[in-house]
Chain A
Amino acid sequence: MTSPELDLDGIIDDSGTRIVVCCGSGGVGKTTTAAALGLRAAERGRNVVVLTVDPARRLAQSMGLTSLDNTPRKVAGADGELFAMMLDMKRTFDEIIEAHADPERARQILTNPFYQSLSSSFSGTQEYMAMEKLGQLRRSGEWDLIIVDTPPSRSALDFLDAPERLGRFLDGKLIRLLMAPAKAGGRSAFKILNAGFGLVAGVLTKVLGAQVLKDIQTFVSALDAVFGGFRQRAEQTYKLLQAPGTAFIVVATPERDAMREASYFVERLAEERMPLAGLVINRVHRSPAPDLSAARSTAAAEDLESRGEHELTAAVLRLHAGRMQLAAREHREQEHFASAHPTVPVTQVPAMSQDVHDLDGLREIGELLAKR
């Protein structure tokens, strides 16, 4: 079973492609792929912005991303219109508040301790803000191709699920409940308190203290006055992801866990009717001597060792055997994917002997990504 080939040049050259999203499980090469595709697309004439999340330090530096200022900067050294930015989730959150609230209210929210913990450590905030930033870049209309990297998380699905989780949380029933007294205004509100609120407030006061409960209420009502629909916002971006100009690229390494995650994600995209371009299998191991099998290589090494000859050659043959076994394991994982998802186009990128940390490295990866 072999997969159809993924034609990435076809995708980035198509002026109808407006958004490319690179997803996958942790550490597989999402950021590298996003940056490499961005560079390639720019050098092939597109006006590109790459939104990266937590890039490796040296890679960030090579793109001139030394400060986290949350705005796209032109990448010097790229032969074309390439802009890049690093997502600052807290800043993005702050900016939403600042854009929608009058200064006094914004100040109230930004200094609230709950806002601070929510905006810097709620699991899902990073994903939500990545989507938010994508929406902003798209609305600005300044770029004709936006390439989005997704946050490091164990599961690729988090990118699709987390924003909804934050939205649900902020629009949730309990938040409404807590808001009730503040909305009704001051003391009189206590008359309309329902039993539920009494219970909640009682326990929260006991555990956290009365001040904390008040802080939560202030925060929740200030936030609500700013904009009612976190969820609605997330839904809008979600729609953007279903639009025909979007292409999802799933990245995986040829290992069991990563390929399984890729499978889940591919299935999920289909369910959500989100356009999948294909799968990038990154860090594939190949051998320059593929005709010499692991078994033959091991047998030959044993033979030399038992004769006490050619110590160096025996060591090289053992190295080669290990390499061939690895390649075979990886190949099985790929076949497995191909038989489960026979129509999903695939491209492979070999494992480099070095980290990818400069524009030349990215260019090379871009080349390999597009190679068919």
Chain B
Amino acid sequence: MTGKGGTGKTTVAAALALALAAGGRKVLLVEVEGRQGIAQVFDLPPLPYEERKIAVAPGGGDVHALAIDPEEAMLEYLEMFYGLKRMGKALTKMGVVDFATTIAPGLRDVLVTGKTSEAVRRRDRTGKRVYDTVVMDAPPTGRVTRFLNVTQEVAGLARVGPVRTHADMVRGVVASPETAVHFVTLLEEMPVQETLDGVAELRAAKLPVGGIFINMVRSVDPTLDGPFDVAELAMGVKAAGLGDDGNAAVIAEALAGEVTEQQRRAELERTERDALETAAVPRYELPLLADGADLAGLYELAEAIRTQGAA
């Protein structure tokens, strides 16, 4: 799940995880930016670098969460491939791990996507996948292609060797038809533009584009769409007992201004919707929650995702 900053990536990723887990499935929700966004939307204390169950989906089904920390992922990697656990700790203290993951940003990404890919591929004793789906709250649109395009990114860094092998494994998962990169956007100029740019970039990198989740859609009574008569409104205002002959007209005039403004915004939103259509991918609409995205709101969004067939 990617999108412009602040459009609702974390919220929508969480709702999608709930929707996908509904009816008895098991989903892992992963975050990669060290911001504890998942804990925030589920109203939980900070999550450790450890998979744990955080929510039950409608009709049974579990959502597990994991906050991936690149340093921890690096230590795990050192241990797994080199048996370097103790030394890893010492290196962290010296800041080496931080250094390595900073000066070589591709390395940081490959560690994070590597950990995620490992969870995707993990199987239990019976050979069944442990998670039905893994949902990632990914970096914003501007960085996501680079982030997912790991082989490309580490190409200049490591032509051969373990990092390279790791990157190839990640590429196999990320570019597979089982993966979909979804976008979250608002019906505003900048997020829409970023979404279209992002879709084009992913396509150029041959990465699988999923759908577009249009978030915070305001529902407006269709009665207010067309041209309307202020005199009629004034009569209605009067009938509702909100004014007498004189000030009903004044109130109607003021309210009419509100309607015109609303219509202008709706027009603008139509333009943005049309622009999104040019991406030629499925689009889903999620309502603006009046009370913000609290826990109940998440379930409401999950329901909207399910009824639109996005999960």
A4: CB under 8 A from chain B?
A: no
What is the chain A residue whose CB lies nearest that of B218? Answer: A322
Contacts of B256 in A (CB 8 A): 316
Given A26-B5, A208-B100, A320-B255: A172 touches B105 (CB 8 Å cut-off) = no
Tell me whether B265 and A353 are in contact (CB under 8 A). yes
**Stretch touching chain A among B42-50, B63-71, B116-124, B156-164:** B156-164
Contacts of A295 in B (CB 8 A): none
- Give the tally of cross-chain contacts (CB within 8 A): 161
What does the 1/0 interface line of A333-372 toward B look like (CB < 8 Å)? 0000000000000000000011101000000000000000
B residues 130-171 with Cβ under 8 Å of A?
143, 146, 156-163
Tell me whether B255 and A289 are in contact (CB under 8 A). yes
What is the chain A residue whose CB lies nearest that of B226? Answer: A312
Interface of A (DSSP majority class) = helix
Nearest Cβ in chain A — how far from B291, in angstroms? 10
Contacts of A323 in B (CB 8 A): 258
Task: Count residues on chain B whose CB falls below 8 Å from chain A CBs.
Answer: 63
B residues 248-266 with Cβ under 8 Å of A?
251, 254-259, 261-262, 264-265
Contacts of B90 in A (CB 8 A): 199
Tell me whether B268 and A209 are in contact (CB under 8 A). no
A142: CB under 8 A from chain B?
A: no
CB-contact partner of B239 in A58, A114, A289, A304, under 8 A: A304
Tell me whether A174 and B236 are in contact (CB under 8 A). no
Tell me whether B237 and A288 are in contact (CB under 8 A). no
Given A56-B189, A287-B258, A320-B255: A200 touches B96 (CB 8 Å cut-off) = yes
Please report the C-alpha to C-alpha distance between residue A199 and residue B4 in the assembled complex, in whole angstroms: 41
Nearest Cβ in chain B — how far from A354, in angstroms? 6
Given A113-B157, A208-B157, A208-B163: A27 touches B5 (CB 8 Å cut-off) = yes
Those 10 A-B pairs whose CB atoms lie nearest each other, nearest first: A313-B236, A310-B236, A289-B254, A300-B240, A315-B221, A288-B254, A353-B264, A315-B223, A288-B257, A26-B5
Extra pairs beyond A26-B6, A296-B242, A312-B228 (18, CB < 8 Å): A25-B6, A58-B189, A113-B156, A114-B103, A118-B103, A207-B162, A207-B163, A208-B104, A212-B157, A289-B255, A300-B241, A301-B240, A312-B223, A312-B224, A316-B259, A317-B240, A355-B188, A355-B189
Provide 12 A-B residue pairs closer than 8 Å at the C-beta atoms, listed in order of the A residue.
Answer: A25-B6, A56-B193, A114-B103, A122-B102, A154-B6, A199-B87, A287-B258, A289-B251, A303-B241, A319-B220, A319-B262, A353-B261
